[in-house]
Amino acid sequence: MKTHGNGRLRRSGRTVSVDSQGFQFPGEFEITAMGAVGIGLEARIPALLAQQAGVQLLGDGVVVRPSKKGNFVAVRVRFHARSRAEYERAHRVLRADPEIRYTL
């Protein structure tokens, strides 16, 4: 890996961008969204990411974890973002949904 001094790296013959927070783009990321149980977030979150945020979902599926008391559910999805803007758009789309309490 060779740094070019402009926030870009060469890795395995391709150029990646490194932003000021250490994220490398393009790259694979996880996003977790939480909301009430029983409202179909397991299907809704991947659909929002693919259709509204326009990110590429990665094939290893969706991970769902209920809260201790069973009132809430956390849904984790892996996706590919080509840029910081695409990564931020994924968070923005989920945060705009009134059924989603917060994202990580």
| Pairs from 51-60 (Cβ < 8 Å, separation ≥ 24) | 52/93, 53/86, 53/89, 53/90, 53/92, 53/93, 53/94, 54/86, 54/89, 55/79, 55/80, 55/81, 55/86, 55/89, 55/90, 56/80, 58/28
**Three-class DSSP category at 67:** coil
Fold held by 21-103: Alpha-Beta Plaits (3.30.70)
Predicted TM-score of the model (pTM): 0.80
Residue by residue, pLDDT tens for the chain (104 residues) are 444 444 544 445 556 677 666 789 999 999 999 999 999 999 999 999 999 999 999 987 799 999 999 999 999 999 999 999 999 999 999 999 999 999 99
Where do the domains of the chain lie?
A: 21-103
**DSSP category for residue 51:** I
